[in-house]
Amino acid sequence: MSDWTTLVAAEDLAAALGCDDLIVIDTRTSLSDRAASEQAYRDAHIPGARYADLDRDLSDHRKPGGGRHPWPDAADFVATLGRWGVTPQHQVVVYDAADGALAASRLWFLLRVLGHRRVAVLDGGWQRWSALGLPTDAEVPAPQATRYEADYDARRLLDAQQVRSLLDSGGLLIDARAGERFRGEVEPLDKVAGHVPGARNRAFALNLEDGRFKSPQALAQEFAPLLQGRAPQQVAAMCGSGVTACHHLLALTHAGFDGAGLYTGSWSGWIEDPQRPVATGQA
């Protein structure tokens, strides 16, 4: 089995099922019905897959000021990894319903910012796996608990003040929300519409073609006008709550631009302080 660090094709994952160093994690998420998401996992999933809940396992709602999906502390997240039986040596593959836009890319970045290199998102997700008629199972595994010791690379996790500093120093903040939300024309989730002044908009859906990620070459060409020669360390992504922004971080890494950061609170965190400025329109 090769080392997979960004994306893995369904056919390649199917061929690797049963390998001792492989752990698969199902992150299928419905923001409107969490219970239905976990029930879908219990009904059928990739054989051996654990289940990760976006709110319970990949967020920490005890933390104020962190937006709708507050970033979990490293100690809590590595404890969750331990319960799943994950060690730093495992090849981890994560998937969600289709395009990796919700919890799959979030879990991918959580692991990457811990320093876990061998983690990839299933390209096309459960939708493509099912369409190909690949194996499924309804048995819920009982993994042997392990101990995972690591801490986040804090340089890649930005708060509101660090976002301001990034923009003031000529860095790039990419907002992954749809254009109409970025421009402030509609806001279905948060109490204030608009965007962080100075941010640039690229909807995460632009990373995809027919439900799968575009090639590294195509993504590199499309991101280049935004990056304008900036190093990845001068770039951060945001969205509504720090979830779909991770889709951009995955796409950037797949395109060869590894090292960008995440504004963890994103738009929902930004507007928790009414003193922070809000922009509308395209720029």
State whether the Cα torsion 174-180-184-189 is positive or negative.
negative
Q: Is 239 a catalytic residue?
A: yes
Contact 109, 251 (CB under 8 A): no
Residue listed under structure tokens 């340089």:
155
Q: What whole-number distance in Å separates Cα of residue 198 and Cα of residue 167?
A: 7
Mapped onto helix, strand or coil, the DSSP state of residue 234 is: helix
* The one catalytic residue among 93, 104, 239, 262: 239
CB atoms within 10 A of CB 220: 17
- Greatest Cα pair distance, the chain, in angstroms, is 53
Q: What whole-number distance in Å separates Cα of residue 256 and Cα of residue 220?
A: 7
Mapped onto helix, strand or coil, the DSSP state of residue 122 is: strand
Which residues are identified as catalytic? Answer: 239
